[in-house]
Amino acid sequence: MTTFSPLTEEVSELLAGSVSDVLGTAFNLGAVPAETSPTAAGVTQVAAAVGFTGEANGMVYVHISSAFARSLACRMLGLTDAEIESDDMVNDVVGEFANMIVGAVKSRLCDSGHRCVLTIPTVMRGPRFQAEATGGVERRTFHFRCGDDALSVELLMKPAG
């Protein structure tokens, strides 16, 4: 069993709770933890990354299918699928989704005395993504089911020290 630093454990707990909170509040969707988040071969994924730096340093990646990303965009923007004009609209929503998740974590970290700031969200698309970290970085991955859809959230964190 992997042992993580106390700050990584704290961020992990906050992150897992934030995913469900944001999906419930912003999208009126429920999310439940899952063992894995299977990705079908050839399915386009949308991944958003938001970092945080300061007394706590890390990066969070949110991975969802392009179909789920489109569904979230429709919900957030109040549009039908036919009204979504481009992938740019969807990317903006996925970036904001990741920003809301990590923003909630940042707020709670700051409340507990770990000052940090967020980076601007970055969104990527492709058939499969995996973040590679340099040595000394702790990695946690969380999987969720949201109805028939799935999402994965990766935390890459540099331990304090």
Read off the pTM.
0.91
Give the pLDDT confidence of 23-70 residue by residue, as tens digits: 999 999 999 999 876 565 667 899 999 999 988 899 999 999 999 999
Mean pLDDT of 100-109: 95
What domains can you pick out in the chain, each with its CATH number?
Answer: 6-32+44-158 (3.40.1550.10)
Mean pLDDT of 129-158: 87
The 3-class SS string of the chain reads CCCCCHHHHHHHHHHHHHHHHHHHHHHCCCCEEECCCCCCCCCCEEEEEEEEEECCEEEEEEEEEHHHHHHHHHHHHCCCHHHCCCHHHHHHHHHHHHHHHHHHHHHHHHHCCCCEEECCCEEEEECCCCCCCCCCCEEEEEEEEECCEEEEEEEEEECCC
**Position 8 pLDDT exceeds 70:** yes
